Amino acid sequence: MSTEPYLDADPSAQTGAATPTNARKVFIKTYGCQMNVYDSDRMSDALSRDGYVATETMQDADLVLINTCHIREKAAEKVYSQLGRLREMKKARAAEGREFMIGVTGCVAQAEGEEILRRAPAVDVVIGPQTYHRLPEALKRAKAGERVVDTEYALEDKFSHLPRAEEARTRSRGVTAFLTVQEGCDKFCTFCVVPYTRGSEVSRPLAQVMEEARNLVSAGVRELTLLGQNVNAWHGKDEAGRELTLGDLLYRLAEIPGLARLRYTTSHPRDMDERLIAAHRDLRLLMPYLHLPVQSGSDRILKAMNRRHTAEDYVALIRRIRAARPDIALSGDFIVGFPGETEEDFEDTLRLIQEVGYAQAFSFKYSIRPGTPGAELEDQVDEDVKSARLERLQALLLRQQQAFNESRIGMEFDILLEKPGRLEGQLIGRSPWLQSVNVTGRADEIGSLVRVRIESTGANSLFGTRI
Ligand code: SAH
Ligand code: SF4
Ligand code: F3S
């Protein structure tokens, strides 16, 4: 119901580090999905090699990067209003004789390329998600007076060009970290821009993933979330050349000493194989929480969306996953008002939600994306119909979320302590099901797993006592 994991509206998602006074400073503003958060960190790493330090205040920055999202119209348009404000800042800086550079990265950069330079004259560089390892070089060219657009699908492997995690180890890292293992999408759902902005499915090799994971864990990370647009399409080869899938990768990662928790996102129902379901059954480290978007509960709409499964396939899959891991909680994504969606189709979606029971969900009004097959369809749904359906859908999902949170009252489980709470002497940890849990604790306990009993629930979090 919120759009939280897709950071459309997040005011302050950027990377941070200590700041020597004379160094050049970069401010990165991140929109979109977790992969953009990961990418922003990697860009920050690449720039730190070039003498930049990250700053948390845009006003301080010599370089501002907007890492953009193209998934819905609103997300994409936000970029241009942001760039309008940056243009004013650049003028003010020029009057002081100070350098100020602006870069647009991410999925809008990939989709619009040159068009950004035309619409936003203050922009110096436009870099796509596949070329951000070339950012330092692009900035040098921009300093020499060129306006750079680099949105090629690079032939070289960007991951092997980025600073290795051990170089970044001195940078402060939290208790949890994202790790991209797969990128791109070959599914071509008819509403979606991702196959065009992120390119086709690519998996990072086993050895590279294992190395980055070990480095993160030795830098103090306790929980890893593996990322991919279709993370469960990950595949690789072991040392003997045997084919591996995401389930195999999870078994291997679970062996890393010091790692406490594993998660992965986002999955496609068609790529949930037996090995992955077995991993949910066998691995204590793999958290019982699965984000498995279905988008619609109507077979007609699923077909028009090119999801290539039925509502019953999805429900049957959930049954198998729950049989393997009974305490697993589900989260999902839903789109209302896809072209041709009738009241009946919409009610099929409500029925599917009733049947599955979600702990958490994200739901959106269908947004026409130029260049996708959905944009060509004639029977677009009226905006007010979409709004009314979204409201009904979100009311149901909110009730399910509250019921799920309340069902934790009286339960005992481990939480991973992540950060200080709002009050002195309090900490915030995460439940296995991604809920924030408030408990008492000391700052030096951050990073440890502690056992709690849940006493009550608040609007967005749980309250526990330690046992
Ligand atoms: N790869 C993931 C989703 C990535 S996009 C998957 O297949 O599930 C994240 C979510 O944004 C999607 O699940 C979908 O619910 C939503 N979304 C994508 N395109 C959209 C559009 N054109 N309009 C509205 N919502 C959209
Ligand atoms: Fe988009 Fe579909 Fe690919 Fe997900 S699976 S990224 S929704 S095209
Ligand atoms: Fe947005 Fe690109 Fe992620 S379009 S959701 S930032 S893959």
Which tokens go with 403? 């019921």
Q: Which residues contact 38 (CB under 8 A, 6 or more apart)?
A: 178, 179, 180, 227
CB 322 within 8 A of CB 290: no
Residue ranges lining ligand 1, Cβ < 6 Å: 71-72, 191-192, 194, 229-230, 266, 268, 293, 295, 333, 335, 364, 366-367, 369
Please give the distance, rounded to the nearest whole angstrom, from the Cα atom of residue 196 to the centre of ligand 1: 13
Q: Which residues contact 376 (CB under 8 A, 6 or more apart)?
A: none
Q: pLDDT band at residue 14, thresholds of 50, 70 and 90?
A: very low
Paired strand residues for 419? 428
Please give the distance, rounded to the nearest whole angstrom, from the Cα atom of residue 450 to the centre of ligand 3: 34
Average pLDDT of the segment spanning 338-355: 98
Average pLDDT of the segment spanning 121-146: 93
Which pLDDT belongs to residue 88?
94
Average pLDDT of the segment spanning 229-254: 97
Q: Of the residues 6, 34, 186, 187, which should be mutated to test ligand 2's pocket, given the most ligand atoms within 8 Å of the CB?
A: 187
The position carrying tokens 């928790």 is 261
Of 34-48, 145-159, 334-348, 368-382, minimum mean pLDDT range: 145-159
Please give the distance, rounded to the nearest whole angstrom, from the Cα atom of residue 8 to the centre of ligand 3: 10
Q: Which residues contact 256 (CB under 8 A, 6 or more apart)?
A: 213, 214, 217
CA dist., res. 217 & res. 230, Å (int)? 24
66 Cβ closer than 6 Å to some ligand 3 atom = no
CA distances from 274 to 97, 241, 280, 320 (A): 62, 20, 10, 9
Of 95-99, 164-168, 378-382, minimum mean pLDDT range: 164-168
Which tokens go with 74? 């609103």
Average pLDDT of the segment spanning 368-374: 96
Average pLDDT of the segment spanning 430-453: 97
Paired strand residues for 182? 203
Task: Name the residue at shortest CA distance from atom 1 of ligand 3.
Answer: 69
Which pLDDT belongs to residue 121?
93
Q: Whole-number mean pLDDT of the chain? A: 92
Inform me whether the pLDDT recorded for 235 exceeds 90: yes
CA dist., res. 430 & res. 437, Å (int)? 6
| HSE toward the beta carbon, residue 188, CA cutoff 13 A | 5
- Cα–Cα nearest to 27, from 91, 105, 80: 105
Could you tell me whether strands 461-466 and 436-440 are parallel, antiparallel, or unpaired per DSSP bridges? Answer: parallel
H/E run at residue 300: helix 299-304
Please give the distance, rounded to the nearest whole angstrom, from the Cα atom of residue 372 to the centre of ligand 1: 13
Which pLDDT belongs to residue 77?
85
Please give the distance, rounded to the nearest whole angstrom, from the Cα atom of residue 107 to the centre of ligand 1: 14
Q: Which ligand is nearest to the CA of 230?
A: 1
DSSP state, residue 410? T
Please give the distance, rounded to the nearest whole angstrom, from the Cα atom of residue 254 to the centre of ligand 1: 29
Better-scored residue on pLDDT, 356 or 99? 356
Which pLDDT belongs to residue 157?
73
Which pLDDT belongs to residue 159?
76
Which pLDDT belongs to residue 379?
95
Q: What one-character-per-residue DSSP string does 170-204 give?
A: TS---SEEEEE-EE------TT--HHHHT-S-EE-
Of 157-166, 279-288, 300-309, 330-339, minimum mean pLDDT range: 157-166
Q: How many CB atoms lie within 10 A of CB 418?
A: 18
Q: pLDDT band at residue 162, thresholds of 50, 70 and 90?
A: low
Give the atom of ligand 3 at the shortest distance from the alpha carbon of 35: 3
229 Cβ closer than 6 Å to some ligand 2 atom = yes
Q: How many CB atoms lie within 10 A of CB 283?
A: 16
Dmax (CA) for the chain in angstroms is 66
Please give the distance, rounded to the nearest whole angstrom, from the Cα atom of residue 48 to the centre of ligand 1: 33
303 Cβ closer than 6 Å to some ligand 2 atom = no
188 Cβ closer than 6 Å to some ligand 2 atom = yes
Of 46-60, 255-269, 273-287, minimum mean pLDDT range: 46-60
Task: Name the residue at shortest CA distance from atom 14 of ligand 1.
Answer: 333
Q: What is the four-CA torsion angle of 459, 460, 465, 467, rounded to 10 degrees?
A: 140
Q: Of the residues 72, 107, 192, 362, which should be mutated to test ligand 2's pocket, given the most ligand atoms within 8 Å of the CB?
A: 192
Task: Name the residue at shortest CA distance from atom 2 of ligand 2.
Answer: 189
CA dist., res. 17 & res. 54, Å (int)? 6
Please give the distance, rounded to the nearest whole angstrom, from the Cα atom of residue 85 to the centre of ligand 2: 32
Paired strand residues for 183? 202
328 Cβ closer than 6 Å to some ligand 3 atom = no
Please give the distance, rounded to the nearest whole angstrom, from the Cα atom of residue 201 to the centre of ligand 2: 11
Average pLDDT of the segment spanning 70-81: 90
CB 263 within 8 A of CB 178: no
272 Cβ closer than 6 Å to some ligand 3 atom = no
pTM of the model: 0.93
CA distances from 449 to 222, 275, 328 (A): 9, 27, 19
Which tokens go with 209? 């993933």
CA dist., res. 267 & res. 271, Å (int)? 7
Please give the distance, rounded to the nearest whole angstrom, from the Cα atom of residue 307 to the centre of ligand 3: 18
What pLDDT, in 10s, does the model give residues 269-310?
999 999 999 999 999 999 999 999 999 999 999 999 999 999
Inform me whether the pLDDT recorded for 158 exceeds 80: no
What pLDDT, in 10s, does the model give residues 169-220?
545 568 999 999 999 999 999 999 999 999 999 999 999 999 999 999 999 9
Inform me whether the pLDDT recorded for 131 exceeds 70: yes
Give the atom of ligand 3 at the shortest distance from the alpha carbon of 68: 6
Terminal-to-terminal C-alpha distance of the chain: 33
CA dist., res. 446 & res. 223, Å (int)? 12
Which pLDDT belongs to residue 236?
97
Per the omega criterion (within 30 degrees of 0), is the bond before 68 cis? no
28 Cβ closer than 6 Å to some ligand 3 atom = no
Q: What percent of the chain has pLDDT over 70?
A: 92
Instruction: Output helix, strand, coil percentages for the chain, rounded to the nearest 5.
Output: 40, 20, 40
Please give the distance, rounded to the nearest whole angstrom, from the Cα atom of residue 428 to the centre of ligand 1: 30
Q: pLDDT band at residue 45, thresholds of 50, 70 and 90?
A: confident
What pLDDT, in 10s, does the model give residues 382-399?
999 999 999 999 999 999
Tell me, letter by letter, the H, E, C secondary structure of 109-172.
Answer: HHHHCHHHHHHCCCCCEEECCCCHHHHHHHHHHHHCCCCEEECCCCCCCHHHHCCCHHHHCCCC
CA distances from 29 to 32, 43, 63, 184, 228 (A): 10, 12, 11, 22, 21
- Cα–Cα nearest to 217, from 259, 261, 180, 253: 259
Please give the distance, rounded to the nearest whole angstrom, from the Cα atom of residue 71 to the centre of ligand 2: 10
CA dist., res. 28 & res. 20, Å (int)? 17
Q: Of the residues 7, 31, 39, 69, which should be mutated to test ligand 3's pocket, given the most ligand atoms within 8 Å of the CB?
A: 69
Inform me whether the pLDDT recorded for 39 exceeds 70: yes
Which pLDDT belongs to residue 12?
38
Which tokens go with 49? 């090699």
Inform me whether the pLDDT recorded for 15 exceeds 80: no
Average pLDDT of the segment spanning 399-411: 97
CA dist., res. 316 & res. 277, Å (int)? 13
